[in-house]
Amino acid sequence: MCDGNKPLFDLSDLILPVQEKISRERVDAISADNRPRTIHFPTTHSSALKHDPGNSWVGRFTVPFSETIKPIFQEDTDLELFPTKYNTWWRSIRDDGEFETVENWIRNQGQRIFIRDALAMSLALDFNLASEGKYTAIGDLEHRAKYDRHLASVHQLADIMVSTISEIAYYRDVEFVSAVPPEPKKEFDLPSILAKLIAQKLDITNVTDRFVWRGEKGKLKDAKIDEKWDRLESAGLEFVDDCIEGKTVLILDDLYQSGRTMQFVGKQLIDVGAKRIYGLAIVKSWRLTDNQ
């Protein structure tokens, strides 16, 4: 058994995000529906908040999907988002005070990326690249930590992830954390190291070692997107404990590319009784096909 610690905050007033069953068919459907998969306020969604005076409002806030962002936004601002007939979510901003509330909330998100996938919530700290061949600050840290095994970068990333988890509604209340489980023979695995450090800093339970690979999954970055799920299934990943039944688990990864691996791991946790799965990656790739 792996006992989790009690949440730091009272969850009774939170409207918890819904975790639907995770399946390959659902993951494929989300990937194929041609709707936006990410929200990044500094770049792609810099115009989400606009002054747009009307009869009873001063502006509007619009985002392309509700997954991940809606419950966090509503919990932080106490403002509700509403669906439109265009498959977007929005609200009219009633006065200057409300406009400032939303403006400050967007500013506080910094470089965070809200991701739409089959998990209850998914986030990345930033993109890996700012432009072709140029790393973002977080992307540079991830590169140095992963490929140069630069210890100071590893600890800096752990501190940034701890701050992120502690600042975000729902994320700060998780009781269990797991890295996307590495193969047993892997000599250095950044997500596993970060999971251990983060568990220690937040006093939560790291369950990465409760996963077992029954076979070889190989290097997934060499696989095409539609081959990844098959490779993962053939490797026979299992979670060999019953400690997470009814609990929320945070999955960590270094790079969120297509998200297939993180969602596959999430499926295994849901199948053994976890109630909700949140995902947190260091960086999101520019494209689903980066590094292939």
* Among 36, 33, 59, CA closest to 48: 59
| 5 is a domain residue | no
Q: What percentage of the chain reaches a pLDDT higher than 90?
A: 77
Q: What's the pLDDT tens digit per position in 84-127?
A: 999 999 999 999 999 999 999 999 999 999 999 999 999 999 99
d(CA 186, CA 142): 18
Q: Measured on CA atoms in the order 101, 107, 110, 115, is the torsion positive or negative? A: positive
How many separate domains does the chain show? 2
CA 10 and chain centroid, separation: 22
Q: What is the pLDDT of residue 274?
A: 95
In sequence order, what DSSP letters do the residues of 20-59 get, joined into one string? PPP-HHHHHHHHHS-S--EE-TTTTTTTSEEE---SS-SE
The mean per-residue pLDDT over the stretch 242-258 comes to: 95
Q: Which residue has the higher pLDDT, 7 or 263?
A: 263
Q: Judge whether 4 lies within some domain.
A: no
Burial class (CB in 10 A: 0-12, 13-18, 19+), 142: buried
Task: Name 28's Cβ contacts closer than 8 Å, sequence gap at least 6.
Answer: none
Mean pLDDT of the chain: 90
Q: What's the CATH number where 142 sits?
A: 3.40.50.2020
Q: What is residue 134's three-state secondary structure?
A: strand
What's the predicted TM-score (pTM) here? 0.91
Same domain as 48, residue 22: no
Domain of residue 267 covers: 13-38+111-292
The answer to the question of residue 2 being in a domain is: no
Regarding whether 79 and 172 lie in a shared domain, the answer is no
Residues 174, 54 share a domain: no
- The answer to whether residues 152 and 240 belong to one domain is yes
Look up residue 3 and give its DSSP letter.
P
Q: Are residues 209 and 66 in the same domain?
A: no
- Within this chain, do residues 161 and 54 fall inside the same structural domain, yes or no? no
pLDDT for the residue numbered 225: 78
